[in-house]
Amino acid sequence: MMRQQIAAANWKMNLTYAQAEDLLNDLLLSPHALKPHQSVVLAVPFPYLSLAKHKVDGKAGFFVAAQNCYTKKSGAYTGETSAEMLQSMGIEYVILGHSERREYFNESNAVLAEKINIALSYNITPIFCCGEPLQIREAGTQNSYVAEQLKESLFHLSAEQLEKIVIAYEPIWAIGTGKTATADQAQEMHAHLRTTLANHYGKEVADMIPILYGGSVKGSNAKDIFSRTDVDGGLVGGASLIAADFGQIIDALK
C-alpha cells in the first residue's frame, strides 16, 4: 500500500487577507487530479483559517492546517489558540515543532510532546517537525540529534497514536543559508528517521508514517526529491506562496 504523499504549504507569517484570498483562488483554479493516496495541506496564518476552510470545502484531497496550537484545552492564555478551537472549525492538521518555533519561541521536545498529545486528543493530525542546525550537521552528529527529537516528543505514544502522525524533516542548515541538502542527503536522513521509528515501533508501523522533506523545496527540484524511497512529499515555505510553483510541487507527488 502506498504511504500518503503530501504537499504541505507553510505560509508562515505572510500575506494580507486579500492576498491570501487571491492565492487560494489561483491555487484551487488549476485542476490537480489527486490520487487517493495524495493530499494537499495548506497551513495558513490563524486569521485566515476560516477563509481557507471555506475555499477548500468540497475539494477532495485538500485540507487546512494551523501553524501551531497551545498545550492547554482552554483558559487564561491570552493570544494562544487551542486544539479544541481548531477542531471546532474543522481544521484537520497542525504543524508542531517547526524550527522557527523551537528557535524563536524556545519550544522544547517536552513541550512538543504535550502539544502532540492535545492535538491527537482532538483528532487533529500533527505534522511534527524535526531537523538539525548547521553546527550539528558540521559536527556529524545529526543522526543522534534528530533521533532524540523523535524519542523525546513522540516515543511516549502508542503505535496506534503514532500512525496518526506526519513527520517533516527540516535541515535547518539548508533553509535560507544558500546551502542546499541534496536529494540523497534528504533520503539518507528520512531512512534514518524511519529506522529510528522501526526500532521502537516495528517496521510495519514505521512504513506507514509519511515523512515530508522541508528544506527549500521548489517546483524545479520537487520531482527529484520526492522520487526518493523514503520521501513522501514536502513541507514547503517560500514556494507555497506562488500558486504556479506550489502547483508544480503538487504535481510532483509520487
Give 78: exposed, middle or buried? Use CB within 10 Å, 0-12, 13-18, 19+: exposed
Cβ–Cβ < 8 Å for 174, 181: yes
Q: How many CB atoms lie within 10 A of CB 101?
A: 18
Which residues touch 59 (CB under 8 Å, ≥6 apart)?
A: 28
Q: How far is CA 107 from its chain centroid?
A: 16
Q: Look up 98 and say whether it is catalytic.
A: yes
Q: What angle (nearest 5°) sits at the alpha carbon of residue 122, between those of residues 119 and 125?
A: 50
Distance CA 123, CA 253 (A): 25
- 3-state SS assignment for residue 162: helix
Distance CA 181, CA 162 (A): 27
Q: Which of 32, 100, 170, 190 is catalytic?
A: 170
Q: Look up 138 and say whether it is catalytic.
A: no
Count of residues making up the chain: 254
H-run or E-run covering 138? helix 134-139
Q: Which of 98, 100, 107, 190 is catalytic?
A: 98
Cβ–Cβ < 8 Å for 36, 2: no
Catalytically annotated residues: 98, 170
